[in-house]
Amino acid sequence: MTFHCKVEGNVSSKWFLNWMKMEKKAKINNSSRIFVIKNETNKSSILILKSTVVDDSGIYCCEIGDSGDSEKGSTNVTIWEKPYVAVNQTPQYVNKKAGFNVSITCSFSSVANASWLNVTWYKDNQELRNPHFQKTRQKVILKLLDVDVEDSGNYVCTIRIRNRTGSGNGTHVQIKGGF
C-alpha cells in the first residue's frame, strides 16, 4: 500500500514533511514493513506499508510545514482479514492392508495468529478421542498407527484459529484385513 504527499507552492528552507498514524500520534519511522521515502528536491514523500495486517488500519496523516505554518492531509485505511481458515486435506483416498500406518495431512492458511491453533479430527462425523497428530507451522498430520479394518471410514480435520474455522475436504480410508 503506497501513499504520496507533496508540498505545493513556496516553503522556506526549513520545511518539514512527516507521516503520522493518528491513533499513535507519533511520527512514523522506517521499520521492516514500513518505509518513509523523502525527496528533498521535489519536496515530496512516499509512505509504503508492506504485508499489511489488520493493525495497520487507521487514519494516516501527512503533515507539511515550515517554521511558521503547517498543513495536514489524511486518509482512512481499513485492512480486512480473511474470515476463514483455508484448509487443504490430503490424500483424498487411502487403501491399505491392516497393520500398516496411515498419515492424513491438513495444510492450512490464515492471516490469524496460528499460536491460537486448535485442531479437531473426526471419523464418520464423530470426534476422535486423543488422536495422535503432529503440528507444524501450517500443517497438521494425523497418524493412524497399526491400522485395522475398524479404522476404515471418512476422516475430516477442522482447524480453528481464534474465531475462524475451516475444515478439510475429507479422506476416505479403506483398510483391508491382512493375510
Residue range 48-102, pLDDT digits in tens? 998 888 888 889 999 888 777 788 888 898 887 666 788 999 999 999 999 999 9
Give the residue from 31, 62, 79 where a domain finishes. 79
Which pLDDT tens digit goes with each residue over 165-178?
Answer: 899 999 999 999 86
DSSP E strands in 66-152: the ranges are 70-77, 86-90, 93-97, 102-109, 117-123, 126-127, 133-136, 139-144
pTM of the prediction?
A: 0.56
Task: Name every residue whose Cβ is closer than 8 Å to that of residue 179 and which is 6 or more positions away in sequence.
Answer: 97
Cell of 8: 505545493
Q: Which domain holds residue 156?
A: 86-176
Domain count, the chain: 2
- What is the pairing mode between strands 153-161 and 171-176? antiparallel
Q: How far apart are CA 68 and CA 55, in angstroms?
A: 34
Pick from 51, 79, 107: which residue ends a domain?
79
Q: Do 55 and 101 fall within a single domain?
A: no
- The one-letter amino acid code at 9 reads G
